């Protein structure tokens, strides 16, 4: 998690330096389909991937949308350790 946050901060700084907008993420309504495929032990190194599956406008929050993503973590041996589907609120781009 620490490295994921550091990556997001770095990307936001790069976008600001380039004069590009930086989107905001809001709370997550939750996740589904959590599957632990292999045990994770102390000392394991996990590589985390997130693939956007779908995006739609929020019916209850104007200016925000919901993004559904497939999240996976792979251990140092290339074995998928976990998989789940998440949903998160994201700020939408201005119209125009």
Span 37-59, pLDDT tens digits: 999 999 999 999 999 999 999 99
CATH number of 26-91: 3.10.129.10
Does the structure show a pLDDT above 90 at 78?
A: yes
Dihedral-angle region of residue 4 (phi above 0 means left; psi in -120 to 50 means alpha; beta otherwise):
alpha
**pTM: predicted TM-score of the whole model, two decimal places:** 0.78
pLDDT band for 5, please (50, 70, 90 cuts): confident
């Amino acid at each position: 998690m620490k490295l994921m946050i550091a990556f997001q901060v770095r990307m936001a700084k790069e976008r600001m330096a380039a004069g590009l907008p930086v989107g905001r993420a809001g709370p997550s309504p939750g996740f589904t389909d959590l599957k632990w495929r292999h045990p994770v032990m102390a000392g394991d190194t996990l590589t985390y991937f997130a693939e956007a599956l779908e995006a739609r406008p929020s019916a209850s929050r104007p200016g925000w949308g919901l993004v559904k993503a497939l999240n996976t973590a792979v251990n140092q041996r290339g074995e998928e350790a976990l998989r789940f589907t998440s949903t998160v609120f994201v700020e939408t781009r201005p119209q125009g």
